[in-house]
Amino acid sequence: MIASIRRFGLPAAVAAGWEIVARAAGMFYFPPPSVILARMYEMWFSGPPSRGFLTPEAASDLLPSLARLGTGWGMAAVVGIALGVVIGSLRVVSALLEPALHFARSMPPSALFPMFMLLFGIGTPLQVALIVFGVIWPILINTMEGVRSIDPGYLDTAAVLRLGLGHRLFRIVLPAALPKILAGLRLSISLALIMMVVSEMAGSTDGMGYRLREAEGSIDVAAMWSVITLLGVLGIVLNAAFVALERRHLAWRTHA
């Protein structure tokens, strides 16, 4: 009970204070939360029950963004984990590739936008490519560190038992490195959300980022805050899902 009050009490108090101050001061750029929620409902969730209460705007705003987010993050996860295992396991490969990797991850994705536009054009491939480039680094680095932190005794035992590459990978390497891999995935999902919005603001005709840009251009402040609020809620939901996944994994390790 006390934990719930601590968790929800402060946000509720902040929202109530915001509501009171915004209505009393009549601040144009900070509308009351009730106005923001009403605009959010009107834009995306006032559709018929047969469509899951989603409006046509939800189909053009939410669904494309979620598809790009999931595709880009999924591709980054697969490539990042695979490269991280190889680089973390083989010193020769690490010596050759790590300097280039650290150089690449230091470049802001927004600075590479013109080059990506030349390569992929305007549209979903451009946005997915930017998401992949922006979020792959925490997955890759955490996987590398997770593989390097494996107790050498485990690998020595696998060598003595002459376990095949597949058995060593799926029975020893990935389970031992999984906590760090999960940490990288959890960090990357928030970066993917950021990259999704940035890429859609600059090179898209639909999606949440596009809607945010359109609301800014038409000075629809309530719509702007509605997009921002929905993105925040999405980030909280995704983070909570990863926290639950990590707790389940740690519980498995505890009982193993």
- Using one digit for the tens of pLDDT, what is the confidence trace for 28-41? 888 999 999 999 99
Q: What is the pLDDT of residue 6?
A: 61
Please report, rounded to a whole number, the percentage of residues in the chain having pLDDT higher than 70: 93
Closest listed residue to residue 89, CA positions, set 185, 163, 183, 172: 172
Is the CB of residue 85 less than 8 Å from the CB of residue 143?
A: yes
Q: What is the pLDDT of residue 149?
A: 87
Asked if the model's pLDDT at residue 220 lies above 80, the reply is yes
Closest listed residue to residue 143, CA positions, set 86, 73, 100: 86
Is the CB of residue 155 less than 8 Å from the CB of residue 172?
A: yes
Q: What is the pLDDT of residue 139?
A: 95
**C-alpha–C-alpha distance, residues 66 and 222, integer Å:** 22
Average pLDDT in the 167-181 region? 84
pTM: 0.85
* Helix axes of 56-89 and 33-44: crossing angle, nearest 10 degrees: 100
User: Which has more confidence, 175 or 7?
Assistant: 175
Highest mean pLDDT among 48-52, 65-69, 92-96, 109-113: 65-69
Q: What is the pLDDT of residue 11?
A: 76
pLDDT digits (tens, 9 = 90+) for 41-83: 999 888 888 888 888 888 888 889 999 999 999 999 999 999 9
Q: What is the pLDDT of residue 8?
A: 67
Q: What is the pLDDT of residue 4?
A: 56
Q: What is the pLDDT of residue 5?
A: 59
Q: Mean pLDDT over all residues of the chain?
A: 85
Asked if the model's pLDDT at residue 227 lies above 80, the reply is yes
Is the CB of residue 88 less than 8 Å from the CB of residue 146?
A: yes
Is the CB of residue 139 less than 8 Å from the CB of residue 185?
A: yes
Q: What is the pLDDT of residue 135?
A: 94
Closest listed residue to residue 64, CA positions, set 206, 212, 241: 206
pLDDT digits (tens, 9 = 90+) for 121-144: 888 888 999 999 999 999 999 999
User: Which has more confidence, 151 or 73?
Assistant: 73
Q: What is the pLDDT of residue 181?
A: 92
Q: What is the pLDDT of residue 159?
A: 75
Asked if the model's pLDDT at residue 156 lies above 90, the reply is no
